[in-house]
Amino acid sequence: AQKITQTQPGMFVQEKEAVTLDCTYDTSDPSYGLFWYKQPSSGEMIFLIYQGSYDQQNATEGRYSLNFQKARKSANLVISASQLGDSAMYFCAMREGVNTGNQFYFGTGTSLTVIP
Amino acid sequence: EPEVTQTPSHQVTQMGQEVILRCVPISNHLYFYWYRQILGQKVEFLVSFYNNEISEKSEIFDDQFSVERPDGSNFTLKIRSTKLEDSAMYFCASSRETDNSPLHFGNGTRLTVT
């Protein structure tokens, strides 16, 4: 089974609107971390936001928030007030276990296009 | 803000040749990784490295691949005999030793095997 599933290969959003990018994960480990990365067309991978499996509250970082539903094993990224510069690929990732050296598993990504 | 640096940004090589991709991780990070991304596709794990040894590797990381931390700052990925299918963007990443520490990626080396 896939560790991380992103079911939206492409998404469009109007500038200034909010958009939700879906991510579901699969793990039997009680301790894990969930991460979102942005990859603009220039290719670099930019860390956006983190959610720990034991965190009681949803993570927020500026215009980014994470809608963490543990029972559903979902960790959707919400971008509020979209900007043209938000157009990029977005990857959801997970690290399992307490060993902080464990690999990160990545989803296949969602391509977001912000329409002016 | 400290960053992971990778060199070169683009490498073109002929099939069968050896290549070495270089990375300087963030100085206080302890875990180092190589990932690759074939154009337009998912990010694939190759190997992780801690305390001067490989801690985890994927099926992709076969005998043609090796990693080294030769001098306490550089972290290299060597591909001994490149194949056409090795063409990809190779990302080096590092992280600190805390649960919530993300991977910090370099800007990648685009490897083209002709």
Distance from CA of B35 to the nearest CA of A (A): 10
When the pLDDT of each residue in chain B is averaged and rounded to a whole number, the result is 93
Taking CA atoms, what residue in B is nearest to A31?
Answer: B99
CA-based nearest residue to A94, from A16, A8, A19, A31: A31
CA-based nearest residue to A45, from A111, A77, A90, A6: A90
**DSSP H stretches of helix in A1-116:** none
Selected residue with higher pLDDT from B96 and A22: A22
- Three-state SS at B101: coil
Q: In chain A, which residues have their Cβ closer than 8 Å to the Cβ of B98?
A: 100
Q: In chain A, which residues have their Cβ closer than 8 Å to the Cβ of B95?
A: 100-101
pLDDT by residue (tens digit) across B6-23? Answer: 999 999 999 999 999 999
Contact B104, B95 (CB under 8 A): yes
pLDDT at A100 > cutoff 80: no
pLDDT at A62 > cutoff 90: yes
For residue A90, which phi and psi values (nearest 5 degrees)? -125, 125
pLDDT by residue (tens digit) across B20-65? Answer: 999 999 998 999 999 999 987 889 999 999 988 999 999 999 999 9
Rg (CA), chain A: 14
Q: Do A102 and B48 touch (CB under 8 A)?
A: yes
The tokens for A82 are 């979209």
The strand pairing partners of A23, in sequence order, are: none
